[in-house]
Amino acid sequence: MGKIDDSRLWERARRVLPGGVSSPVRSFRSVGGEPFFSERGEGPYLYDVDGKRYVDYVLSWGPLILGHGHPAVVEAVERATRTGLTFGTPVKTEVELAELIVDLVPGIEMVRFVSSGTESTMSAIRLARGVTGRERILKFDGCYHGHSDSFLVRAGSGVATLGLPDSPGVPLSLSELTISVPFNDLDCVRSSLDRYPDEIAAVIVEPVMGNFGLIEPMHGFLEGLREVTRATGALLVFDEVMTGFRVALGGAQDLYGVVPDLTTLGKVIGGGLPVAAFGGSRELMEQVAPTGPVYQAGTLSGNPLGMAAGLAQLRVLARERPYDHLARLTGRLVSGILAAAEERGIPASGAHVGSMWGVFFAEDPVHDYDGAKRTDTEFFASYFRECLERGVFFAPSPFEAGFTSTVHGPEQLEYTLMAVGEAMDAARVG
Ligand code: HOZ
């Protein structure tokens, strides 16, 4: 068989990978066009295989808070590769990373490492079910907790982006155990807890919703969740895969001062390698095997490369505490985009929590799933393509949060806002 031309990578990809991708949100399905193939990342930029440069606001969907190729992270990984890729035994860096996490995250006294956010939420829920002896879980419309069976009910991220109903393949008997209610609606939470007394094992929430655009918790919502879960014996689980070490060094629980029973972590914790974790009080975590009966395991969990990358990244964050700078910069980005929209009479609203941000093209401010569903997704799609054309890479979906990094600065901001203005003009005409 002859060699297939490299310039047709997308054709080749679609022949051998479903939809041409290894994860649906990368496919550009809802925005049109073909995804680019990245060749390298450098600081705030991504370069594709044709050498085109993009200011990157996706940042691998969140992990790269220090930008691409931060020297401390790269050196730590290089050093780790020289002594072995994986051992299947405990390693020192695993203990050091766990100690640092326990130090930084208010609700964590013990932690179990896993390899993906999906694994972390799936395991946290098993633990919640195991210790409470209850089977139902309560989640929020538009929150996305990975793709395990229990969570694909009115989920955000790729499920919402592709407009899929809840996924085939999830046994009804399992999805029936998942209750999904509107984000920011405490009354609905209370009535579900009343309706199923002693049946709900856990209430799981993204404390800042980042998988349906960015939606902030309304004042008192997280505090209310803490109160009602405590009163009814359900565990409160904060899915901090996106917010952990991102919105503040101690995550959203530190920022809002609400401590959950269990926390799931991913993305920033691995510095760009596949690392995730779940943690909580010693009492709860000692119920996990081998100290307790709740089984959970993983061949590559706590592997030396991931641990080295995560430790290096978290050490930089703990030392430099760049959160004020990140929040200021991100605030300027969001207000710049909103100002550009206003100048052109394009209805838009937006928000940021630290360096996590989102803009909706809609008449009214968005507080939940139904509000996000009413936004102008068609305008978003052409705006996205026009931005990309100009070398600005936003998430290819109106239902994903954006991110900035410590190496994004005034130069990238100025360029982005210029491109955004042009893109809005072009998208309106188109
Ligand atoms: N969880 C990520 C953001 N919603 C995206 C990762 C993916 O689904 O590929």
33-42, 165-174, 276-285: range with lowest mean pLDDT: 165-174
Closest CA to 300 of 61, 82, 84: 84
What per-residue confidence (pLDDT) applies to 6? 61
Residue 144 known to be catalytic = yes
Q: Tell me the average pLDDT of the chain.
A: 94
Residue 239 known to be catalytic = yes
Q: CA of 251: how far to CAs of 231, 255, 367, 405, in Å?
A: 24, 6, 21, 16
Please name every residue paired with 181 in a beta bridge, in sequence order, or none if there are none. 140
**E strands of 267-316, at which residues?**
276-280
Mean predicted confidence (pLDDT) in 263-272: 98
Q: Is the pLDDT of residue 3 over 60?
A: no
Task: Give 346's contacts (C-beta < 8 A, 6+ positions apart).
Answer: 361, 379, 424, 428
CA distance 115 to 118: 9
CA distance 91 to 76: 14
Q: What is the largest CA-CA distance in the chain?
A: 67
Distance separating the N- and C-terminal Cα atoms of the chain: 42
Q: Which atom of ligand 1 is nearest to the CA of 400?
A: 4
Q: Separation of 133 CA from ligand 1 center, angstroms?
A: 31
Mean predicted confidence (pLDDT) in 114-129: 98
Q: Separation of 112 CA from ligand 1 center, angstroms?
A: 21
Over residues 343-395, the pLDDT tens digits come to 999 999 999 999 999 999 998 888 888 888 888 899 999 999 999 999 999 99
What per-residue confidence (pLDDT) applies to 5? 58
Q: Which atom of ligand 1 is nearest to the CA of 211?
A: 4
CB-ligand 1 contact for 264 (6 Å cutoff): no
Q: Is the pLDDT of residue 1 over 50?
A: no
pTM here is 0.95
What per-residue confidence (pLDDT) applies to 163? 64
Over residues 290-344, the pLDDT tens digits come to 999 999 999 999 999 999 999 999 999 999 999 999 999 999 999 999 999 999 9
Q: Are 376 and 361 in contact (CB under 8 A)?
A: yes
Q: Which atom of ligand 1 is nearest to the CA of 117?
A: 1
For 176, counting Cβ atoms within 10 Å of its Cβ (0-12 exposed, 13-18 middle, 19+ buried), the class is exposed
What per-residue confidence (pLDDT) applies to 174? 86
Closest CA to 184 of 217, 146, 151: 217
What per-residue confidence (pLDDT) applies to 168? 83
Q: Separation of 342 CA from ligand 1 center, angstroms?
A: 30
Residue from 119, 145, 157, 208 whose mutation best tests the ligand 1 pocket (most atoms within 8 A of CB): 157
Residue 340 DSSP one-character state: H
> How many CB atoms neighbour CB 345 within 10 A?
7
Higher per-residue pLDDT: 223 or 170: 223
| Nearest-10 crossing angle of helices 304-320, 71-83 | 150
Residue 194 known to be catalytic = no
Q: Is 139 in a helix, a strand, or coil?
A: strand
Task: Specify the fold of 2-69+322-429.
Answer: Aspartate Aminotransferase, domain 1 (3.90.1150)
Q: Which atom of ligand 1 is nearest to the CA of 22?
A: 9
What per-residue confidence (pLDDT) applies to 164? 65
CA distance 360 to 351: 9
Mean predicted confidence (pLDDT) in 170-176: 85
Task: Specify the fold of 71-320.
Answer: Aspartate Aminotransferase; domain 2 (3.40.640)
Q: Is the pLDDT of residue 414 over 80?
A: yes
Task: Give 326's contacts (C-beta < 8 A, 6+ positions apart).
Answer: 65, 354, 355, 404, 405, 406
CA distance 351 to 210: 11
Taking the domains of the chain in order of start, what are their residue ranges? 2-69+322-429, 71-320
CA distance 29 to 261: 37
Annotated catalytic residue within 45, 54, 144, 369: 144
Q: Is 198 in a helix, a strand, or coil?
A: coil
Q: Residue 226: which pLDDT band, with cuts at 50, 70 and 90?
A: very high
Supply 255's token pair: 């920022």
What per-residue confidence (pLDDT) applies to 12? 96
**Residue percentage of the chain with pLDDT more than 90:** 87
CA distance 14 to 18: 6
